[in-house]
Amino acid sequence: MSAQASSPEITFHPNHSGGTKKIWRTFWLLSVLTIIELAIGLVIYNMHKGEHPNATLVLAFKGLVCILTLAKAYYIVSIFMHLGDEIRNLIMTIVVPLCLFIWFIIAFLWDGNSWLNLRNRYQGVPAKTEQVAPAATEKGAKD
């Protein structure tokens, strides 16, 4: 164990002698999560090809992909970056500031959405003729 002592002031040594089994298990886990994400991505793609995609269902699938991504992030940080092996206070100084993202994401996406609503209300929604029309070109898009 003395090989790990990078500095005399460090008395805590996470146990790394467990072999590579955990690493490979995480690799397969990340791969499977990615494949599920891709499958959902293709489902969303095929829903968009249809005439009127169900907006709620699309949103639900997108939310699911976001949750899977957070799971991937958790495994990368905790297993690959060994943060899970550090002592709790170090984990907390990293993780607690990141909670700012909760506010950050909600506030700014809200802002974007409010911008959209204001612009559409006072400038009018742009004409959508081209978006509705391509029923004819849809046949061509499939070959």
Residues in 101-140 at the binding interface with another protein, rule: CB under 8 A = 101, 104-105, 108-109, 111-113, 115-116, 119-120, 125-126, 128-131, 133-134, 136-137, 140
CA distance 21 to 23: 5
Sign of the alpha-carbon dihedral angle for 109, 113, 118, 124: positive
* 52 to 33, 49, 131, 138, 142: CA distances (angstroms): 28, 8, 12, 13, 17
From the CB of 11, what's the least distance to another protein, in Å? 5
CB of 130 to another protein, least distance (A): 5
Query: Distance between CA 24 and CA 18 in Å, rounded?
Result: 12
CB of 61 to another protein, least distance (A): 9
**Which two tokens mark 135?**
């029923």
> Within 27-56, which residues bind another protein (CB under 8 A)?
27, 30-31, 34, 37-38, 40-42, 44-45, 48
Q: Rank residues 5 and 57 by Cβ distance to another protein and give the closer one.
A: 5
